[in-house]
Each structure stands twice: as structure tokens, then as C-alpha cells.
Amino acid sequence: MDRVFNFSPGPATLPLPVLERAQKELVSCGGHGMSVMEMSHRSKMYMEIIEAAEAELRELMGIPDNYKVLFMGGGATMQFSCVPINLKQNGKADYIVSGSFAKKASQEAAKFLDVNVVASSKDTNFNCIPDLANAKFDPDADYVHITTNNTIYGTRYTKLPEVGDVPLVADASSNILSEPMDVSRFGLLYAGAQKNIGIAGVTIVVIREDLIGRAAENTPVMLDYKTYADSESMYNTPPCYPIYIAKLVFDWLKEMGGVPAIQAINEMKANLLYDYLDNTSFYHATAKKADRSLMNVTFTLPEPAMDALFVKEAAENGLVNLKGHRSVGGIRASIYNAMPMEGVQKLVDFMADFEKRHG
Amino acid sequence: MDRVFNFSPGPATLPLPVLERAQKELVSCGGHGMSVMEMSHRSKMYMEIIEAAEAELRELMGIPDNYKVLFMGGGATMQFSCVPINLKQNGKADYIVSGSFAKKASQEAAKFLDVNVVASSKDTNFNCIPDLANAKFDPDADYVHITTNNTIYGTRYTKLPEVGDVPLVADASSNILSEPMDVSRFGLLYAGAQKNIGIAGVTIVVIREDLIGRAAENTPVMLDYKTYADSESMYNTPPCYPIYIAKLVFDWLKEMGGVPAIQAINEMKANLLYDYLDNTSFYHATAKKADRSLMNVTFTLPEPAMDALFVKEAAENGLVNLKGHRSVGGIRASIYNAMPMEGVQKLVDFMADFEKRHG
Ligand SMILES: Cc1ncc(COP(=O)(O)O)c(C=O)c1O
Ligand SMILES: Cc1ncc(COP(=O)(O)O)c(C=O)c1O
Ligand SMILES: [Mg+2]
Ligand SMILES: [Mg+2]
Ligand SMILES: [Mg+2]
Ligand SMILES: [Mg+2]
């Protein structure tokens, strides 16, 4: 096995058992004499896959019955448009800007309604979740939008904002399924699959039923949540194979013990890395301690000039994709559900060795 | 090998060498120590894949330099909205309604501009391409929309309408790459991948450059062709794995000799089936002879009541997904590029046997 440890922020590493199962079933799946890739989306065999994917996600996340699960294309970015288009009523929405995806979401929404940025951590280069003490939420806003985990900056909400009756909408692309989330606190949750769910090409939307059906008449059909809700995401051909991979990931996560069990592992992985970072002056963890992400660990070396060497030597040791995002520099280790403890341990060992040689 | 012959209209059968290669590379691809599914879309290794996919498609179709190739999500159905949203100028467009997808496209477009149905074959249940002798094309229309192959009814254009300077827009979902197309005759061509290109989850748009950048300011970002054109389809995470499968299919098609070579095979396959249908009174080919599709062959049995038995016995013989679309009934054999001659021969043999036993 020549596998590397892949710290990519997304598309990201997948559980090896998922890849091995996909490989085994690739040419012919389940005695059907064809690949999942070749199955008619309306066939019984494929319907079983998409229905199982939904049922398992409902079980894993504890999704209440009054929420629909939608499988959409277009990436999480398409949701930046879908959310305002579908939820617009009074024509205004509150956004908390905690990173560059949150900012992009707010800018896209401004095409469709009045956006009120109630809080932002831009001034500290998004190294924390904005302080909400003085945030003025509009009780007439159509929704409040947050980004539960900020992939680029390595921060996450540890506590949800109190928004009263206004629907809370969350981009959970980079921490869905990493720790329990109380779905009933949200009006809508969305996540691109290419981090904790599976592969790029499908985005999952979990939406409270009463929020469906509000889009204007002239909404593009594939952007209207009602299109998906009314057809079980089968109005047209869904991204069948990405949904199948999601199902395999859900199978794997259930076998791992579900979300609480993976949360415990995620905390061990993150703690190993953060404890190491905190105990050396060579490396510096960039995110505010209270808001540290379990999924994306961002840090710097003594000099930005050392970044390239670190990334190169790490890759030579089978630890790849550690370069921080171009907008912040430094190093980022994305350690999603599928990254095993062994990978994080190997990274810490490498970091200690690198420090010894270059400190 | 327990593979069946899969006559599904899409998602559809794939070339076995493509599946075998995907299988081989699934856990670790090209010495990179990771699956293509896990590659960052901005990594050098993945960029090579998407760039090769585009270059090979350009070569296979002979796409002129002044056309862009875009990789989008959302299925062909999303293009039903994107086309009017992006091409609207005078606010009106001409549609030829040759089947139910063409009709859906025209209905969706009517949300965004004035749709003029210049011709329709609805009166004969879409058994032919509409007669254009009396069609009144509007010289001020923003475009003329056609569906080059009608998946459900088994018809295709053998000759493109003359539209002067008005851009011709084509939904080529079910016959792209099956026979040469003169791209320079079109302003825009689009095709969902799940028939002749690969798997569901990516839609390919081939667009003349001067038609890009016309969308209104408040266009949803993932529906604007300019978003894709300006970023090489990398504004956000593209459907990476479906694009990789497309690349493998293009590799295979090139090895088969390209589009003219596959056209010759497609004609042999279709002729075998149509000749058989024409030489028996038991079966009846439903599409008008001059407009017969090379990709979807539709026919009826002496009694609709026999359909279910035919489909069931065929499946027992390893010939699956032959049921006609619910809107027309009867039988449909979809014989895309990846269906080998052997599969069509086996179908004809089965049909002869079925006729003998039930005729
Ligand atoms: C938090 C977050 N939101 C949105 C996106 C954009 O997702 P997509 O590329 O699927 O549009 C990303 C991508 O990394 C992300 O991390
Ligand atoms: C000609 C044609 N256009 C459009 C579609 C719809 O494609 P999608 O399911 O990708 O939206 C199909 C699907 O079979 C088709 O055959
Ligand atoms: Mg961010
Ligand atoms: Mg430190
Ligand atoms: Mg049709
Ligand atoms: Mg006949």
C-alpha cells in the first residue's frame, strides 16, 4: 500500500475501507452486473442506495422528521445563491462574517436581498469567531447565516448564536458530522460533500419543511428547494455516484460508532496537534484558543520563508497538502473524520524532527 | 465476468476498459498515493486531469479556438435555465419542440424571456423531428434552441435548421460524440455526461466566446457562464470525479478511432436493430424513418400487454433496462457509444426468439 496521509482541506482524504469497497464494486455491484455509475437513477437498485444514504444521514445527525434532506449539485457555493433566493420574504438577512467563505456567501446574497453584516472578525484576519455581544440581530430578518467551521482560518463555533425565531442557516461544509449538531436549532444546514461526506459533486441540504416553497415563481428550477423536496431529489438525474460514495462514508461512520464516537477521536487528534503546538515556541497556532477548529489546524513557522521547505520535507515523508491557504500563508493540517490518528501522530513526529533540524 | 448488457437511457453503460481503469486507480492513482476522489482540485495532479479532459474533448469534437469548454454541475436540466439567463438580450427566443426535454427546456426558458415555439411534433407524439418548412424564425431572437437527439422518442436531427446569424443552441445530451457535429454551426452546445461522456454529476457546455458575459448582474454565480469561463471551471470545487471519468471515456474513444470511427460502429449497431425491426411485422419501430436516432431505438410489440413479459425475459437473458419511457410505453433500446455490437446482436437474437415463441 503506497498511500500517503493527505491533509488537503477538500477534496479530502477518504476512509480507506470506503475506497476499497468502491473499488471492489466498481465494475459490477451487488450482483447487478453493472457499476453503480451505470445504474439508472430511477432503478430499484439505485433507489435503494439514495434512500439508504438519506436514512443513514438522518440517523447519524438525528435529523427530525419535519426536516427534508436534499441532494443537490453545484457545490456549497451554489447554496450561497439558493439560500437568499429560497428564504427571501421580508427581503433582508443577517450574516456573521467569520471567514472568506462567509464573506462570499454574504456578497452573493446581496444580489438578492439586503444583507446586514451583524459581526465580522475580519479585523483580526479571521483568527476567531466574531464576538456577538454587541451584534444587533434584526428580528425581521429572513434568516441569520453562519459558517460553523472556517476551513481557511481554522476556527469553529463552539456555541450557536441565539437568534430567537429567525431561522438560523449554516454552512457546515467543513465540520458536518465531526461532532453532534442539534439540527432543531437550525432552519437550514448545507454542506459540500468533499470533506466529511464524500466527494465533490453533491451538496447536502437539510431544511425545515416550512421553509420550502417560498421561492419566487421565476426561480431557476434547479435552484428551488421545492424541486428537490417534491421529487426526493429525483426531478432530474442526481449526481448518482457522489451520492453512492456518501452512502459508503455513512456506512463507515456508523461502524465507527457514529458522530459521538468520531467526535472523541477528532478531539484526540486535534488535541495531540494543538498540545504540541502550544508546547513549542517554534510553531505558533494562529486561531484563538477558544474557537479552534477540530478539522483544520492552522499554524505558522518562525519565518514564512520556511513554509515551502516544511511542506516539501513533509511531502517527502508522505504527509501531503499541508500548505496554508494563499490568503493566510503558513501551514494548515486538515484532519477530517477520515484522517486516522496515525496520520496526525506521524505529522507531530515530523514536526518535532523538523524543529530539531531547523529550530 | 457477470456483466449484463445495459440498455438504460442514462445513466448508461460505460466502456468496460474505462471501468477497469477506474477500478485499478481507485485507491491510489498514478503513484500519487491517493485516489482521484481525494485530490485537491487545485493540485497539479488534478489540474492535469481536467486539462486533459478538455484537450481531448476539443480534439474529439474539433472545437474551434473561439469556443470555451465549461464543466458545470446541476445536470442538463440546469442548462434549461442557464441558456435563457445567459443569452437574453432582446428578451425572446425560438424553440423547436421535438420531445419532452425540448418542451421542458422551452417551459423553463419562459420564466426568463418570451418563448416562441416555431415548430413542434407533439401532434404525432414526437415520432419525428418537426417539419421546418413553414417555421417562422425570428431574426431578432436571442437564440434558437433545438434538442439534437430525443432520448425518449428515438429521433434525431440529420440536418441542422438554417438560422442565419441567430445563435443555434443545442441540447446534445443524448447524441454528443456519437457522430461528427460541426461545432462552428452552434453558438452553444450542452450535454449531461451520463450518456456518451461519463457519469451523472457533470454537464459540459461548449460556448462561443462572444456569447459569454451577457448575463445580468444579479445572476446566481454558479449559473453564470462567465464564472466558469474566467476560472477554467475552478471558481469553486468542480465535480472532480465525474470529470475524471469523462477523461477516461475520452481516452477510450480516442483509442477506438475517435468520433468518425464510433459513428461507423453506431450506424452498424443501429442498422442491425432497425433492419430487424423493419423485416418483421411482430415489432414496430415507432420513429419516422428519416429521423431515426442512432442512440435510442424505440419500438412496440403487437400488444402493450406484452411489454412487461418482453422486458422480464430480456432481463433474464442479461439484457436490461429495455422498458420504454413511461410517457410512450413500448420498448426502448439505448445503444450509446459504449454499447458493444455484441450487445445489440444478443438483443436481436433474443427478439427473434421472443417473436418465435409469442408471435
Ligand atoms: C466552509 C466552506 N464553505 C463553502 C465552500 C465552497 O464549497 P464548494 O467548492 O463546494 O462550492 C468551502 C470550500 O472549501 C468551504 O470550506
Ligand atoms: C435530451 C435530454 N436533455 C436533458 C435531459 C435531462 O438531463 P439531466 O437529468 O442531466 O438534467 C435528458 C435526460 O435524459 C435528455 O435525454
Ligand atoms: Mg474560511
Ligand atoms: Mg507554539
Ligand atoms: Mg425526448
Ligand atoms: Mg416491423
Q: Which residue of A has its CA nearest to B228?
A: A74
Give the whole-angstrom CA distance, residue B92 versus residue B107. 13
Average pLDDT (A57-78) is 98
User: Which residues, by Cβ under 5 Å, contact ligand 4, an ion?
Assistant: A 277, 283-284
Q: Does domain A258-358 have CATH number 3.90.1150.10?
A: yes
| Domain boundaries defined on chain B | 16-255, 258-358
Phi and psi at B7, nearest 5°, equal -95, 25
pLDDT at B243: 98
pLDDT of residue A326: 86
Cell readout for B219 is: 445572476
Q: How confident is the model at residue A359 (pLDDT cuts 50, 70, 90)?
A: confident
* Cβ-defined contact of A33 to B4 (cutoff 8 Å): yes
pLDDT digits (tens, 9 = 90+) for A169-195: 999 999 999 999 999 999 999 999 999
Task: Tell me the best of A77, A169, A177 to mutate to test the pocket of ligand 1, counting ligand atoms within 8 Å of each CB and taking the most.
Answer: A77
| Backbone dihedral region for residue A306 (phi beyond 0: left; psi -120 to 50: alpha; all else: beta) | alpha
Chains A and B form CB pairs within 8 A to the count of 216
CB A142 within 8 A of CB A112: no
Which residues of chain B lie closer than 8 angstroms to A219, CB-CB?
111
Are B11 and A318 an interchain contact pair (Cβ–Cβ within 8 Å)? no
pLDDT at A120: 98
Cell digits of residue B323: 422498458
What is the rounded average pLDDT of the residues A310-338? 96
Give buried/exposed letters for A111-136 (b at 16+ CB in 10 A, else e). Answer: bbbbbbbbbbbeeeebbbbbebeebe
Q: What is the mean pLDDT of residues A31-38?
A: 97
Look at residue A202 and tell me whether its pLDDT is greater than 70.
yes
Mean pLDDT of A244-251: 98
Residue A327 pLDDT: 84
The ipTM assigned to this model is: 0.98
Name the residue with the closest Cα to ligand 2, atom 5.
Answer: B76
Smallest Cβ–Cβ distance between B14 and the set A4, A37, A242 belongs to A37
Transcribe B50-71 into DSSP letters.
HHHHHHHHHHHHT--TTEEEEE
pLDDT value at residue A315: 98
Question: Does A127 sit in the ligand 1 pocket, CB within 6 Å?
Answer: no
pLDDT 10s digits, A88-120: 999 999 999 999 999 999 999 999 999 999 999
* Closest atom, ligand 1, to C-alpha of B222: 11
What distance in angstroms lies between residue B173's CA and the mean position of ligand 2's atoms? 6
Q: Would you say the CATH fold of B258-358 matches that of B16-255?
A: no
Residue A147 CA: nearest ligand 1 atom is 1
pLDDT given for residue B328 in this prediction: 86
B188-192/B168-171 β-pairing: parallel
Nearest to A236 among B2, B32, B75 (CB): B75
Strands (E) in chain A, as ranges, are 5-6, 67-72, 92-97, 114-120, 144-147, 149-150, 155-156, 168-171, 188-192, 203-208, 284-285, 296-300, 319-320, 331-334
- Taking CA–CA distances from B34, the nearest residue in chain A reads A3
Q: What is the pLDDT along chain B (359 residues), one digit of tens a residue?
A: 589 999 999 999 999 999 999 999 999 999 999 999 999 999 999 999 999 999 999 999 999 999 999 999 999 999 999 999 999 999 999 999 999 999 999 999 999 999 999 999 999 999 999 999 999 999 999 999 999 999 999 999 999 999 999 999 999 999 999 999 999 999 999 999 999 999 999 999 999 999 999 999 999 999 999 999 999 999 999 999 999 999 999 999 999 999 999 999 999 999 999 999 999 999 999 999 999 999 999 999 999 999 999 999 999 999 999 999 988 899 999 999 999 999 999 999 999 999 999 98
CATH number belonging to domain B16-255: 3.40.640.10
| Residue A210, pLDDT score | 98
